Amino acid sequence: MKKRTKRESTDERRRLRQRIGLVAGVVVFSLVAVVARAYFLQVVKHDYYLARQQSQSNSSRLVHYERGEILASDGGALAVNIKGKSLYAEPRRVKDKKRIAKGLAPILKMKVSSLERRLRGERGFAWLKRSLTPAQVEALQPWCKQEPGLAFSKEDRRIYPNRDLAGQVLGFTNIDCQGQEGLERYYEEYLRGCQLYVSMEHDAKRQVVESSQSAEYDHLKGKTVYLTLDRRVQAWAEQELEAAVTESRGKGGVALVMNADDGAVLAMAQYPRFNPNSKRKNNPALWRNRAVTDLLEPGSTFKVFTLVAALESGLFKIDDLIDCEEGKFKVGRRTIHDTHEYGLLRLDEVLKYSSNIGCSKIVDRIGAERFYAVLKNFGFGSNSGIDYPHEPSGRLRSWQKWREIDLCNIAFGQGVSATSVQLVAAYAALANGGHRVTPHLVAKIVNGAGWTVYEPPAKKSSRACSAKVAQQVDRALALVVEDDGTAPQARIPGFRVVGKTGTAQKFDFAKKSYSHKDYWSSFIGYVDPPKGQSRKIVYVMIDEPRSSIYGGMVAAPAFQRINRHLVSYLNYASQAEFATLTMPDYEEEEAGCSVAENGGERVENLTGNATPAANVMPDFTGQTIRDALVIIGSYRRSVKISGQGRIVAQNPLPGTTLEPGLDFVFQLSSESSEI
């Protein structure tokens, strides 16, 4: 029994060992298999599986970085971007296409057939509607949640916050934010943002785990374009132009304001206006910036250059007399007329009364070649070089092709054409002492890091005429606004205004002759600014006015109104105010703010050009800082003011001899802050 038991237990142990060995063998084998498999996957096939994993979890997407902004000279936004939503479909995933097309059509304001066409087929992607309104986005939310294959995509939308302010100048972009017209097109290279592939890591549910797109992407965005346009000046120019066109029952008009010294355009207005936010609602003819693209005959505004040619030739002096033949003068078989019958006129009076006959006689004497050379010096017959697309060259045929009558016609602005910008640039040369300028709309372009990457080319040094001639012409132009000149309506009391009217017949291409009904009526000139400031050329042109055809009647009042805004905005000191300014006698009466009555209004003159009766520092104790500033005007180099209220202490002390270039310090009654 014991023997049996021993044998049995020995067998049992052997079987147990065998089982354990078997299990251990299986486990070891499995482990070896796992390790071998892991080795195979991780080492042998490492590159293959790494590539497969990356292709499944990583993806890249093309990102269009934001378009650059366009800002006015004061930093005000003229063109910016906001994010908008667009609706797209993946047609191969969309199930009930007919039902969806019917449901979406009223929300998207599209035809059912059009939507069905877009949803048709097995394509992977199709736009249904881009640039959705917020209301449309809200109405479409449930559709996108319920229906597979419908989704929103975020896109940049170009917005013009000032609506139709400078609409034609700015131009517009297409739906993909690419410049199509105006400055948007001209500076596309700078405004366009970069396009980059951005890599992303997804999880199994395609959620983004990590993206290489950094928030610090300013350098990839389009560059910021700063214009020379001043929003306020632009708004005034547009407002007064609209008033002038409406009053004269004209077809349209153009107004320009340009710095004479450097050609910077402060305003470029056009009427009718155009709102680039809703370009599709506007007639495409309105997209054109007529100040740059349209050639027109300048008419009498061109006579200035005849006068310049006369003086530059040395054959005439400003007080030479010209016989204006009592209003009729025959050139070959043609007769030239003046609006009034003039006899002998001085050279400057030819301009003042805008005599066609006087101009014809002048060019007849100086000759075509010399006249042509002067016109070329002012840039006629070529581009002005303005930074705007589609500028045509002015039309000025070679002098060898001129007949006798052509020479006379050109002398008073017929048979020659220029754009408004080209004419204003030529006047700018006259106003700045004879230097040609290149008109420009962009002041600078700045990249994301704040570096200026573009500035307009430096001022041209070439001369259009001598400074002496420019000065003589300036004096002659001042006569135009006198009571018996052609544009007394351009005058602003208290300011020296110079300018020239233009009334040019439009050419009727159907009849192949000049129209007796349709005119371009214009006025161009400037108001003398205080010393040290650049003259601002203001040009107003009314197309086909009906109330009157004369530039002095329809354009000059708008010129005057624009300049009234300008002299106020730029704080030009009025000559009238200087004349009526009585300085306070601080020895006898209490010093106070000088008051000049101007049109019944109280005007405080704080221009600082006054001089104390004796060159002695007065005692300003108890007076206002305004009073002190008026009195120390011409002596001050710097003024330091601390506190608020009335003056309690001063330096220099009362009784000190005053000399120009002093530093003044005023302590006011309550110490608060230093200005």
Contacts with other proteins, residue ranges (CB under 8 A): 76-77, 80-83, 159, 161-163, 165, 201, 203, 207-211, 213, 215, 231-232, 234-235, 239, 494, 565, 567-568, 571-574, 577, 596, 598, 601, 603-607, 626, 629, 636, 638-639, 641, 675
Provide, rounded to whole angstroms, the least separation between the CB of residue 620 and other proteins: 16
Provide, rounded to whole angstroms, the least separation between the CB of residue 238 and other proteins: 8
Tokens for 309, please give them. 């040619």
Q: Are 347 and 282 in contact (CB under 8 A)?
A: no
Minimum CB distance to other proteins smaller for 162 or for 414: 162
User: DSSP string spanning 200-254?
Assistant: EEE-TT--EEEE---S--GGGSPPEEEES--HHHHHHHHHHHHHHHHHHT-SEEE
Where does 340-488 have alpha helices with state H? 347-352, 356-366, 368-377, 404-411, 420-431, 467-479
Minimum CB distance to other proteins smaller for 164 or for 543: 164
- Long-range Cβ pairs for the range 636-641 (8 Å, 24+): 636/608, 636/662, 636/663, 636/664, 637/661, 637/662, 637/663, 638/663, 638/664, 639/663, 639/664, 639/665, 639/666, 640/664, 640/665, 640/666, 640/674, 640/675, 641/665, 641/666, 641/668, 641/674, 641/675
Q: Are 268 and 538 in contact (CB under 8 A)?
A: no
Q: Are 73 and 259 in contact (CB under 8 A)?
A: no
Provide, rounded to whole angstroms, the least separation between the CB of residue 29 and other proteins: 21
Minimum CB distance to other proteins smaller for 445 or for 596: 596
Provide, rounded to whole angstroms, the least separation between the CB of residue 605 and other proteins: 5
Minimum CB distance to other proteins smaller for 181 or for 627: 627
Provide, rounded to whole angstroms, the least separation between the CB of residue 597 and other proteins: 12
* Angle, CA 101 vertex, CA 96 and CA 103 arms, to 5°: 95
Provide, rounded to whole angstroms, the least separation between the CB of residue 123 and other proteins: 29
Provide, rounded to whole angstroms, the least separation between the CB of residue 232 and other proteins: 5
Which amino acid does the sequence have at 418? Answer: A
- Which of 394, 367, 383 has its CA nearest to residue 312? 367
Minimum CB distance to other proteins smaller for 328 or for 626: 626
Provide, rounded to whole angstroms, the least separation between the CB of residue 31 and other proteins: 14
Minimum CB distance to other proteins smaller for 88 or for 217: 217
Q: How far is it, in rounded angstroms, from Cα 75 to Cα 276?
A: 20
Rounded alpha-carbon distances, angstroms, from residue 500 to 416, 514, 534: 17, 22, 19
- Which of 271, 338, 264, 307 has its CA nearest to residue 533? 264
Q: Which residue has the tokens 């002012």?
A: 378
Minimum CB distance to other proteins smaller for 234 or for 419: 234
Q: Are 313 and 432 in contact (CB under 8 A)?
A: no
Q: Which residue has the tokens 């250059």?
A: 305
Minimum CB distance to other proteins smaller for 188 or for 577: 577
Provide, rounded to whole angstroms, the least separation between the CB of residue 292 and other proteins: 22
* Angle, CA 160 vertex, CA 158 and CA 162 arms, to 5°: 170
Where does 262-380 have alpha helices with state H? 290-293, 303-313, 347-352, 356-366, 368-377
Provide, rounded to whole angstroms, the least separation between the CB of residue 567 and other proteins: 6
Q: Are 318 and 348 in contact (CB under 8 A)?
A: yes
Provide, rounded to whole angstroms, the least separation between the CB of residue 157 and other proteins: 10
Minimum CB distance to other proteins smaller for 200 or for 479: 200
Minimum CB distance to other proteins smaller for 270 or for 417: 270
Tokens for 406, please give them. 């052509």
Minimum CB distance to other proteins smaller for 585 or for 604: 604
